[in-house]
């Protein structure tokens, strides 16, 4: 993996369903961000360990593997506090405290306008 040489903020998209991940990555790239993709939390953590240039983790909540998106969000907040977190789901209803402080929830289905707006808000 090479580090980003351009100055666009880097968004790590974590989603186990390939088509949904590709669609989200495409929308985020169109909004002007560099995108890195992971299929699960373990891949995401390996990428985060290798790339100090990640600005935002955009994660699905329901994922198979060692941890779901909420556990990943808390892990990222604890280990890399400056990274912004956006969690998304089409099924999950969040309770207070589910997301770490300053983590944002974006319900599925989401639009290009909503993704680009929320990213502008948190990266600014």
pLDDT higher than threshold 90 for residue 94:
no
pLDDT given at position 73 = 98
**Structural domain includes residue 78:** yes
pLDDT digits (tens, 9 = 90+) for 48-90: 999 999 999 999 999 999 999 999 999 999 999 999 999 999 9
**Structural domain includes residue 43:** yes
**Structural domain includes residue 23:** yes
| Predicted TM-score of the model (pTM) | 0.93
User: Residue 60 burial by CB count (10 A; 0-12/13-18/19+): exposed, middle or buried?
Assistant: buried
Q: pLDDT-derived band of residue 5, with 50, 70 and 90 as boundaries?
A: low
**Structural domain includes residue 4:** no
Residue written as tokens 């790339």?
51
Mean pLDDT across 2-25:
87
| Alpha carbons 15 and 61: distance in angstroms, whole number | 8
**Structural domain includes residue 16:** yes
**Structural domain includes residue 26:** yes
Mean pLDDT across 98-104:
94
CATH, residue 77: 3.40.50.2300
The boundaries of the domain holding residue 83 are 10-123
For 9, residues 6+ apart whose C-beta sits below 8 A from its C-beta are 33, 34, 55, 56, 119, 123
């Amino acid at each position: 993996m090479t580090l980003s040489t351009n100055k666009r903020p880097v968004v790590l998209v974590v989603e186990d369903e390939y088509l949904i991940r590709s669609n989200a990555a495409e929308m985020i790239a169109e909004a002007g961000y560099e995108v890195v993709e992971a299929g699960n939390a373990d891949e995401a953590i390996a990428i985060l360990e290798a790339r100090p240039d990640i600005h935002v983790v955009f994660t699905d909540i329901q994922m198979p593997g060692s941890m779901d998106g909420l556990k990943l969000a808390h892990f990222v907040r604890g280990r890399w506090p400056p990274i912004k977190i956006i969690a998304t789901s089409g099924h999950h209803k969040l309770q207070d405290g589910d997301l770490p402080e300053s983590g944002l929830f974006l319900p599925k289905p989401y639009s290009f306008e909503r993704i680009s707006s929320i990213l502008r808000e948190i990266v600014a």
